[in-house]
Amino acid sequence: MAKTKDGANGSGKKNGQSTSVGNGGEWHQQSHGAALSTNQGVPVSDNQNSLRAHARGPTLLEDFILREKITHFDHERIPERIVHARGTGVHGYFELTESLAAYTNANILTEVGQQTPVFARFSTVAGGSGSADTPRDVRGFAVKLYTKEGNWDLVGNNIPVFFIQDAIKFPDLVHAVKMEPDRGFPQAATAHDTFWDFISLTPESMHMVMWAMSDRTLPRSLRMMEGFGVHSFRLLNEDGQPTFVKFHWRPTLGLQSTVWDETVKIAGADPDFHRRDMFEAISAGRFPEWELAVQLFTEKQADAFPFDHLDATKLIPEELIPLKVIGRMVLNRWPDNFFAETEQVAFCPSHVVPGIDFSNDPLLQGRLFSYLDTQLSRLGSPNFHQIPVNAPKCPFANQQRDGHMQMAQPRGRVAYEPNSLSTDGPRESLAGFRSADTHESGSKARIRAESFSDHYSQPRQFYISQSAVEQAHMASALVFELSKVEHPHIRAAVVGHLRHIDADLARRVATGLGMEGLPDLPPTTVPVQQFDPSPALQIIGKMKATLEGRAIGLLVADGSERGAIDALIAAIGKAGASHKVIAPRIGQVTLSDKSRLKVDGQLAGTPSVLFDAVAVVLSADAASVLCTEAAAVDFVRDAFGHLKAIAADSGAQQLLKKAGVVKDDGVVDADDVRRFVTAAKSRQWAREKSVRTLA
C-alpha cells in the first residue's frame, strides 16, 4: 500500500498506530503493517471513493464496500440505558484485607491478599448519554468483580436508600423524573412538576428526597463519593448459616462536594468534568481507591431494629451496626475503547457467586428481573455475556446454545443435561451456588408490610444529623427545586411532608417559596420516631483536611514573579495536589526573570470553578490590564463566592479589589505558602453567609 507524504498508509492511520484486526474469530490489536480490509477480510484498494457508473455518475448498488461501511456506521449506536445513561467506566482490582470465612464461603470474601479484577462504572441517573456530568442527581456506583467463581455485580448508588419500596413503582418514578413527554425538557433535572407531583403523592420517597437535596448529589469528583449496595443481602457460610449484610464503598480521599452555584457553572465550563477528572487522575498515576466495608447482622438483630431493613427507603445507622472494613478497590486503567467497555458493560444484581444470596427486599427482587431484561433489549441477545467486558475471567460451561450474536462454537452431539452420551460435559457441582434455606408462608396477595409504613423518622434523623451549613444547603435546594414547579398544590403538598420531618425546615422552605403560613400536615399511619443524630450521615464532618487528589489553579501573566510561582508549585505538589497554570493566552508566559513558563489553560476557557483553590501571581501592570477582563474578575470573584482559598501576591491585590474579594482566613498572601495549603484543604464555610442568602 502506498504511503502518503505524512507517513500515513491508505487507511489514514500513521505508521505504528494500532487498529482492530480479526483473525479466526479472535480479535486483537495489530500495531502496524495491516492492510485495510472489509469485515470479511477483503483488502480495500480505495477507501476514498464510492463505485460510480462514471466520474460524475450515480453510485452503484454493487459497491459492497460502501454498503458494509455505511451499514455498520448506521448501527453504531445501541439503545442507551433508560437510566444511568451518562456513565464513566474504569478497570482496576479488588483486594481482600480481612476474611469473612465465618460468614461466607465466597472465595472473593475469604482469601486475604487475593486481587480480583474489577470494572467499575459511575453514572448519573436522570440524564441522557449526552447530558452534563454535574447536575444535582443520584450517582450510580456499579462494580463488576471477575471472581474465580464467576462474576459478582455489586450494583448500587452513592446514596444508601432509594425512592421507592417496591419495584413495581420504578417505571412511574423514572417516567416522573425524566423529561416531560409533551415538551421534551428538562434534561437531567428534577426541578419540574412531574417529579415533585410524584414525590408529593409518594411519602415513602421523602428519605431519598432529603439525600437528593443534600450536597451528596453534587460530588466534587467521582473519586470523592461513597458507594452503597442499598439492599440487604445474605452471606452463607459452609454450613449454610445465613448472615445479613450491607455493602459500603468509602473513598480514601474522603467526601467532598461542590456548592450549587459552582455546580451550575461547571456544567457550562466543562460538561465532562467528572469524566475528565477521573481520566486525568488515572493518567497521572493518582489511582482512586475505596475501602469496602460491611454491616453484618443476624435475623434476631434485624427483628429488634426500629425499622425494617428490607425496606430500601431505610438505612442502618453506623452507630447501630458499625462498619467493618474488609478490603480495598483500586482503579488504575482507563478503558481502551469507551463503547466496547463502558457502554456495553452489563450489570445485573442477579449476578452473584456461591456464598452470597438475596434478601426479600421487594425492590431488590424486582431488580433481579429488570436488569437482565434491560440487557436483552440494549445488547440485543442473551449472549451479551460473551462481550469481553462482560465475560467471566474464570472457566464457564453449560448447555445453552445458539441465539442472536452467538460467538462460541460448541462441539458435540449433546446440548442437554443430564445425559449419558458425553463423558466430559458440564455437570452440577456440590460447590455450586445454593440459596439460603428459608421458610416462607402466608396468603398470596398484593400487599405492603406494615413495617414499611414509617416514612418520616429516618428522613428526620438524616436532616438533624447535618451541620447547620448542610441544613441550609438542603433548605435552599428544596426552595430552588420547588420554585420551578408551576402548580401551587404540589409545592404545598411537599412542604406538608416536610412538616413531619422538621418544623423549622418546613418553615424555611415555605418562606423561601413565599407561602403564607404552612400547609396542613398529611395523615400518617404511624407516629414519627425521634432517633438520635448520626454524625456518620454528614459530609462536612467526614471531609478530610487534605489536598490529596485536588487541583489548584495558578493565574499568571507576563511579568509574574518566578520565585513565588515556584514556591507555590512546590508546596502544592508536596501536599499531593495537582496544578494548572492559567494565563490570558495559551502557549507560554515570560516571567519576571525572563524565563518561560508553559500555560495549561486559557483564562476564558479555564475558570476557577474547575479548581479546589486558586493562586494569583501578577505584576501590577498585568493586574491593571486584567481588571478590565471579565474572565479574570470572575476567576477570583467565583473562587471567593465558592468558598475557596485564594493566594495573591502584591501585584494581584488590585484584581481582588476589583472583584470585591475581602480578606478572611481563606484569602492569604502568596508568599505564605504554608497558610495557603492549610486553607486550601477545606472550604471556608464561615464565609458563606457573606456571599449568598440561604433559606
pLDDT at 52 exceeding the cut of 70: yes
Domain assignment present for 425: no
pLDDT at 33 exceeding the cut of 70: no
Task: Please give the sequence-ordered ranges of beta strands (E in DSSP) within 532-633, or none if there are none.
Answer: 551-555, 578-583, 587-590, 596-599, 601-602, 613-616
Q: Are residue 336 and residue 263 in the same domain, yes or no?
A: yes
Single out the residue in 541, 566, 600 at which a domain terminates.
541
Give the pLDDT band (50/70/90) at residue 12: very low
Q: Are residue 164 and residue 271 in the same domain, yes or no?
A: yes
Q: Are residue 127 and residue 209 in the same domain, yes or no?
A: yes
Q: What is the CATH number of the domain that holds 475?
A: 1.20.1370.20
Q: What is the CATH number of the domain that holds 582?
A: 3.40.50.880
CA distances from 623 to 617, 635, 646 (A): 9, 13, 15
Q: Are residue 163 and residue 266 in the same domain, yes or no?
A: yes
Instruction: Return the pLDDT at 591.
Output: 98
Q: Are residue 47 and residue 92 in the same domain, yes or no?
A: no
Catalytic residue, candidates 84, 192, 207, 351: 84
Q: Are residue 53 and residue 198 in the same domain, yes or no?
A: no
Total domains present in the chain? 4
Mean pLDDT of 198-218: 98
Single out the residue in 541, 563, 586 at which a domain terminates.
541
Alpha-carbon gap, residue 178 to 161, rounded angstroms:
20
Alpha-carbon gap, residue 626 to 616, rounded angstroms:
11
pLDDT tens readout for residues 448-468: 999 999 999 999 999 999 999
Domain assignment present for 298: no
Q: Are residue 476 and residue 566 in the same domain, yes or no?
A: no
Mean pLDDT of 294-305: 98
CB neighbours of residue 71 within 10 Å: 10
Domain assignment present for 447: no
Give the helix/strand (H/E) hosting 262.
helix 260-269
Instruction: Return the pLDDT at 71.
Output: 85
Catalytic residue, candidates 9, 107, 157, 390: 157
* Selected residue with higher pLDDT from 578 and 38: 578
Q: Are residue 551 and residue 634 in the same domain, yes or no?
A: yes
Mean pLDDT of 345-364: 95
pLDDT at 23 exceeding the cut of 70: no
pLDDT tens readout for residues 491-543: 999 999 999 999 999 999 999 999 999 999 999 999 999 999 999 999 998 89
Alpha-carbon gap, residue 159 to 217, rounded angstroms:
8
Q: Which residues of 188-215 are buried (b: 16+ CB within 10 A; e: fewer)?
A: bbbbbebbbbbbbebbbbbbbbbbbbbb
Could you list the residue range(s) of the whole structural domain that residue 125 is in?
87-227+253-292+330-354+361-386
Instruction: Return the pLDDT at 481.
Output: 98
Domain assignment present for 153: yes
Mean pLDDT over each residue of the chain, to the nearest integer: 93
Domain assignment present for 409: no
pLDDT tens readout for residues 54-75: 998 899 889 999 988 888 888 8
Q: What is the CATH number of the domain that holds 41?
A: 4.10.91.20
Q: What is the CATH number of the domain that holds 372?
A: 2.40.180.10
- Is 439 assigned a catalytic role? no
Domain assignment present for 126: yes
Q: Which residues of 423-439 are buried (b: 16+ CB within 10 A; e: fewer)?
A: eebeeeeeeeeeeeeee
Q: Are residue 499 and residue 465 in the same domain, yes or no?
A: yes
List of residues 6+ apart from 612 with CB closer than 8 A: 220, 547, 550, 551, 552, 577, 644, 680
Q: Are residue 563 and residue 619 in the same domain, yes or no?
A: yes
- Is 91 assigned a catalytic role? no
Give the pLDDT band (50/70/90) at residue 424: confident
Q: Residue 329 corresponds to which amino acid?
A: M
Q: Are residue 153 and residue 280 in the same domain, yes or no?
A: yes
Instruction: Return the pLDDT at 16.
Output: 40
Instruction: Return the pLDDT at 427.
Output: 86
Instruction: Return the pLDDT at 445.
Output: 85
**Grid coordinates belonging to 237:** 457460610
Q: Are residue 205 and residue 130 in the same domain, yes or no?
A: yes
Instruction: Return the pLDDT at 32.
Output: 55
